[in-house]
Chains A and B, each alone.
Chain A
Amino acid sequence: MPDVVIIGCGGGGGVVAKELGELGIDVLVLEAGPWHGHPAAARRGAARRGGLTPEEDAAWGSTLDAQWNMMELNAGSPTDGYLRWGPSDRNRAPWQRHQPDNMFVWQLAGVGGTTQHYLGNCPRAYPRVFTGADDDGFPAETNPFPFSYEELRPYYEKVEETLPVSPAPATRRENVYFWGAKQAGHSYIGSQSGNPDHRTVLSPGYREQQNSILPAMNDLNEVGPSADFHYPAVTGCTLCNGCFEACPHPHHAPLTQKAKRSTLVSYVPMALATGKVEIRPNSFVLRILTEPGLDGKLHARGVVVRDSWTGEIRVIDAKIVVMAAGTIETPRLWMNSGLPDPTGEVGTGMTIHFYDWITGVFPFEVEQHIGQNSAARFDYPGQGGLEVVGALPAVDMLSTYLISMSGFAAHNPPEPGAPWDTRGRVVGEEFKRLAGNYTRLLSLLVVTDDEVVNTRGPDGQPSNGVGLAMDWPPDEHGMVPKITYSAPSRRSVERRDRLSRVAADILRAAGATEVHRTDMPPIVLHVHSTMRLGAVTDDAAETKGVAGVFIADNSVLPNGLGGPNPTLTTQALATRTAEKIAERYFTS
């Protein structure tokens, strides 16, 4: 019987596993989806304990090279892509979710979870979203972390060193953006600004991303082509622009030397190397089991897990359960387990950075298809931020011209004073004209400081959050989650609009001749705060409803971090939570 069962091996679960393993605590990680890179993971019994030998490290790297070819459909098809929310067997349908709106949830199953396709962006949360933040003139965060930024700082530093995190490289695309930001009068606040604490962002400005991608070699331009960008002649990032398709570069590198540091290639091998951690793919947890304790509280007793390959169901006993199944599945599992919700907050308050997407057409080459998917950003504490995004064609065309909450650009009258020319979907010949500029398009993703709204509709469904789809039959894992984002706050809407204007002004200043605003419908990629610290859990991320159950994914974040990407903060918090678990339950 393991000391601790962790549900989900994504951005958070993998970190808790490694940290607990290093403390000598026996851990079993149950991952619902596949284990890419594991040569035997397509078969039952692919569970693994113990570190990789150098030979295995190389073999697992080669397996990834073969499995991940970065083709947009093979990678990202929500139906049967290698990156999807569904079982290992790609011939089977994806797992059901009810998302009854103009929206899309883009989460992944599998060891590494959604970090398999994340862009490696690792900004810290703005200090203003923690308790004790200084007044910066903007309304204070309504759901702050229940402790200070300084409390989390050492955990940030530990994760940044472990992944590791470093300044992203520039290509032509980033230079165009930096030029526009500077011409628009903004300050540079990045790693070369002379501020030794530049990762702590207190005021607006532009900078390179801090990414968990091994740095490109300084002489990549000379060495790369002759060596076909293959390891060991080439190490680190090759600027292939395939982060979102789970780039396996450099080819021929061992698993642990792959450039992009998803937990699959970073924390997971480290966890295995402790000898104390077992990871089991194809294992979908259906229920958390509890029992009354002598103290009158409900205590964790174990989990019921279904083998998503064979359908076999079994019970695993454990006194400590860590929920790290993600912002959708963690509240779903809580509700499907019939666990108590004394504060009524489970599943509510989902934040998604309420994206928008602003694009400029340039009269010169931007080469958006070259570089890390996102290597530069703009920070605006109190409002949110912007991220430069270069994408492969399907995702780029979708995000730019083919989805919108504003209908069709052809129907929308000009907006006097707006810094964009058009808003809404573009189709037909006009679309084809614009799409022909693919390599001369530069897009900025708006990441809004999205306020927590924890209201519910008349049917009990959270306005922004996760409930159970009562009018759908259950699937093989129980009641299906119903996901809605129907009530962004007035402030979130205003912030998103203000950031869109900042983005359009930067693109104009950089030389864009046409600027388009997508008015993006809810795209659920950065998704957090449905099991909030302080609301559903105590300050140590242990749930108030059940003793011995901790939460270690994005759902436990108490807010949307002010706009910065969530993974690094979740990993820092998961590092702290592992310490708290050890202190509370394993001091002997």
Chain B
Amino acid sequence: MNLETRMLTRRKFLQTLGGMGIGVALAGLVDAPWMSRALAADHVTDTFAAFVDLVFPKTPLLPHATGGVELGVHQFVMTSFDSYLAAVPSLPQGARLRDVVAATIDGHATQVTPGKTFVDQSPEERLQTLRAMDESPAGDVRFVAFAIFVMAALGFYSEWPGYGSRWGGDHEELDMAKLPVWGEIGFPGPADGYPKLLYPYNPGAPLDPETF
């Protein structure tokens, strides 16, 4: 558990959840046994890794083989949450949104499968947890359930893995060796242009694409 997280008392943490409208969904869970574990930094990381592995698993038998965790996409998702809502109202000093999100996921996981956090769940149980977040009466929980997919997709399919550890708002030279995903799906990377104009062309008389 890192220093910031240790400073975060349970009470302050729940204030944070309340500030996001998430407290509604978690109000009954103040003394839940998983709460202390949920605040541990390693467990937070494991929770995001479990999510990324659910969505983008390593699939050695498919041409699109690379998995999200091996590229560190869960790290990207965590830092994105922290900085996207850096000014979330009532976030206590030193708290990070990643902790709030991970605890929110676990709060729903333990409702779907009592006694199990998201990390402990099977893939099908994790889907049910995310579905429960989709259907939460708290709007901010629904937003989190949406945003986590946005951030995961940006981390996995954008140029992010090619920056290595150097991403900091500048766009330095990309290391293409760290971008296996583009090659796997046939994307050559952003280009200056393509010599692929159909000309002359009449949309009213298109060509049969099977023979084109």
A240–B64 touching, CB < 8 Å: no
Q: Which residues of A contact B145 (CB under 8 A)?
A: 102
In contact, B84 and A171 (Cβ under 8 angstroms): no
Of B90, B150, B158, B197, the residue contacting A171 (CB under 8 A) is B197
Q: Across the interface, do B190 and A69 meet the contact criterion of CB distance under 8 Å? A: yes
Which residues of B are found within 8 Å of A91, using beta-carbon distances?
A: 169
Scoring A residues 207 to 239 as 1 if CB is less than 8 Å from chain B, else 0, what string do you get?
110000000101011101100111000100011
Are A398 and B150 within 8 A (Cβ)?
yes
**B62, A192: Cβ atoms closer than 8 Å:** no
Interchain nearest-CB distance for A548 vs B (Å): 34
Select the stretch in A260-268, A272-280, A403-411 that faces chain B: A403-411
B117-157 contacts to A (CB < 8 Å): 123, 127, 130-131, 134, 138-140, 142-143, 145-147, 149-150, 152-157
A74 near B159 (CB under 8 angstroms)?
yes
Interface contact A102-B198, CB-CB below 8 Å: no
Least Cβ–Cβ distance between B152 and chain A, in angstroms: 8
- Interface: B206 (CB within 8 A): yes
Do A439 and B153 touch across chains, with their CB atoms under 8 A apart?
A: no
Instruction: Return the contact of B196 from the options A71, A371, A411, A428 (Cβ within 8 A).
Output: A371
B204 in complex: contacting residue of A90, A193, A230, A511, CB < 8 Å: A193
CA distance A472 to B18 in the complex (A): 11
Q: Within the assembled complex, what's the spacing in Å between the Cα atoms of A392 and B190?
A: 8
Least CB distance from B112 to A in Å reads 13
Closest A residue to B153 using CB positions: A398
Contacts A73-B159, A90-B169, A394-B156 given; does A245 touch B195 at CB 8 Å:
no
Q: In the complex the two chains form, is A170's CB within 8 Å of B146's CB?
A: no
Is B28 interfacial (CB-CB < 8 Å)?
no
Is the beta-carbon distance between A171 and B86 smaller than 8 angstroms?
Answer: no
- Tell me whether A1 is interfacial, beta carbon within 8 Å: no
Q: A101-B139, A408-B127, A411-B131 known; A78 and B207 CB under 8 Å? A: no
Say which one of B5-13, B50-58, B102-110 lies at the interface with A.
B50-58
Complex-state Cα separation, A100 to B157, whole angstroms: 26
CB of B210 closer than 8 Å to a CB of A: yes
In the assembled complex, how far is the CB of residue B107 from the closest CB belonging to chain A, in whole angstroms?
17
B2 on interface, CB distance cutoff 8 Å: no
CB distance from A517 to the nearest CB of B (A): 17
Tell me which residues across on chain B come within 8 A of A182, comparing CB atoms. Answer: 204, 206
Smallest Cβ-Cβ distance to B149: which chain A residue: A402
Q: Quick check: B207 and A179 within 8 Å, CB to CB? A: yes
Q: Which residue of A lies closest to B140 (CB)?
A: A100
Residues of B within 8 A of A242 (CB): 190
With A436-B62, A439-B187 given, is the CB distance from A100 to B21 under 8 Å?
A: yes
> In residues 159-212 of chain B, which contact A (Cβ within 8 Å)?
159-160, 169, 171, 174, 181-182, 184-188, 190-199, 201-204, 206-210, 212
A438:B187 contact, CB within 8 angstroms? yes
- Bound form: Cα–Cα A222–B149 in Å: 41
**Cα distance A439–B186 when bound, in Å?**
6
Q: Given contacts A367-B196, A369-B188, A521-B146, are A432 and B56 in contact (CB under 8 A)?
A: yes
> Which of A71, A220, A439, A472 meets B190, CB within 8 Å?
A71
Are A171 and B198 in touch, CB under 8 angstroms? yes
A425 partner residues in chain B, CB cutoff 8 A? 149
B83 at the interface (CB under 8 A from A): yes
Bound-complex Cα distance A331 to B185 (A) = 43
Is B3 close to A, CB under 8 A?
no
Tell me the nearest residue of chain A to B162, going by C-beta: A71
State whether the Cβ of A397 lies closer than 8 Å to any Cβ in chain B: yes
Tell me if A101 and B142 are in contact (CB < 8 A).
yes
A179 adjacent to B206 (CB under 8 Å): yes
Out of B127, B155, B203, which one reaches A376, CB within 8 Å? Answer: B203
Which listed residue (A69, A80, A104, A222) contacts B150, Cβ 8 A? Answer: A104
Instruction: Using A175-B206, A188-B203, A206-B203 as known contacts, say yes or no to A240 and B84 having CB atoms under 8 A apart.
Output: no
Instruction: Tell me whether A436 and B57 are in contact in the complex, defined as CB-CB below 8 angstroms, given that A100-B140, A239-B196 are known contacts.
Output: no
Closest to B208 in A: A179
Q: How far is the CA of A273 from the CA of B126 in the complex (A)?
A: 58
Asked if A103 lies at the interface with its beta carbon under 8 angstroms from chain B, I say yes
How far is B143's CA from A230's CA once the two chains are assembled, in angstroms? Answer: 42
A249 within 8 A of B: yes
Residues of B within 8 A of A431 (CB): 55-56
Chain A residues with CB under 8 A of B59: 429, 432-433
B195 engages A394 (CB within 8 Å): no
Within 8 A of B (CB), among A113-146: none
Within 1-41 of B, Cβ neighbours of A (below 8 Å) are at: 21
Q: Return the contact of B86 from the options A76, A93, A225 (Cβ within 8 A).
A: A93
| A-side contacts of B56, CB under 8 Å | 431-432
From residue B39, how far is it (CB to closest CB) to chain A in Å? 23
Give the residue of B89, B90, B192, B196 whose beta carbon is less than 8 angstroms from that of A172: B196
Question: With contacts A102-B143, A402-B149 known, is A225 near B195, CB below 8 A?
Answer: yes
Other-chain contact of B154, A69, A72, A221, A229 (Cβ < 8 Å)? A72
- The residue from A100, A176, A370, A473 contacting B194, defined by CB atoms under 8 A apart: A370
Q: Which residues of B contact A385 (CB under 8 A)?
A: none
How far is A208 from B193 in the complex, measured between Cα atoms in Å? 20
A453 to B187, CA, bound (A): 41
Q: List which A166-199 residues lie within 8 A (CB) of chain B.
A: 169-172, 174-176, 178-179, 182, 188, 190, 192-193
Residues on A with C-beta less than 8 A from B202 are 192
Which chain A residues border B143 with CB–CB below 8 Å?
99-103
Which chain B residues border A99 with CB–CB below 8 Å?
143
CB distance from B203 to the nearest CB of A (A): 5
Cβ of B80 < 8 Å from any Cβ of A? yes
User: Is B63 on the interface with A (CB-CB < 8 A)?
Assistant: yes
Nearest-CB distance from A434 to chain B (Å)? 9
A79 at the interface (CB under 8 A from B): yes
What is the CA–CA distance of A432 and B55 in the complex, to the nearest angstrom?
9
B190 surroundings in chain A (CB, below 8 A): 69-71, 240, 242, 245, 392
- Bound CA–CA A240/B195 (angstroms): 10
Is the CB–CB distance between B185 and A436 below 8 Å?
yes
* Contacting pair B171 A69 (CB below 8 A): yes
A397 touches B153 (CB 8 A): yes
Contact A428 B55 (CB under 8 A): yes
* Additional 10 contacts, C-beta under 8 A, given A171-B194, A431-B55: A73-B155, A102-B143, A170-B197, A171-B196, A220-B199, A241-B191, A392-B190, A402-B150, A407-B131, A433-B59
10 A-B pairs with CB atoms under 8 Å apart are A79-B80, A80-B83, A104-B146, A171-B198, A178-B203, A241-B191, A393-B158, A402-B150, A407-B134, A473-B90
B residues within 8 Å of A by Cβ? 21, 54-57, 59, 62-64, 80, 83-87, 89-90, 123, 127, 130-131, 134, 138-140, 142-143, 145-147, 149-150, 152-160, 169, 171, 174, 181-182, 184-188, 190-199, 201-204, 206-210, 212
Closest 6 CB pairs of A and B: A100-B139, A238-B193, A229-B193, A73-B158, A436-B64, A178-B206
